[in-house]
Amino acid sequence: MKYRYLGHLELQPRGSPVALVLDTNFFTDKERDNEFRPSEWDQAIGLLYRYEQWAGLLRYERDMPIDKGGLVQAFAEIQGLWHQDHLVVQDSEFYAALGWLFSTQT
């Protein structure tokens, strides 16, 4: 991988603890003629639930080549997250997460 292009979008209705999370990543191959042209596309969709400094995320991701045929990998996971401001350093944020990859497809 030489370059990575990414996008992240969260849609959360006002006052709701639930958000729809969309992520996309494009990766380039440094050994190709055009090092800026993406060769892999990863896309993910998830539901995020927040409560105070805790969150739970259910997510599905699909990773696939876009410049040629090849292996496509897909998986689903669940994560529990904890967030704390100013834990060690003032004006900093700390995140911890545990996850379980419960379904894979190749």
Q: Per residue in 15-36, pLDDT tens? A: 999 999 999 999 998 888 888 8
Kindly tell me if the per-residue pLDDT of 88 is higher than 90: no
Kindly tell me if the per-residue pLDDT of 103 is higher than 80: no
pTM of the model: 0.78
Would you say the C-alpha torsion 105, 48, 99, 66 has a positive or negative sign? Answer: positive
Among the residue ranges 75-79, 86-90, 94-98, the one predicted with the least confidence is 86-90
Contact (CB, 8 A) for 65 and 85: no
Q: What pLDDT is stored for residue 29 in this prediction?
A: 85
Q: What pLDDT is stored for residue 106 in this prediction?
A: 64
Nearest to 72 by CA among 104, 31, 46: 104
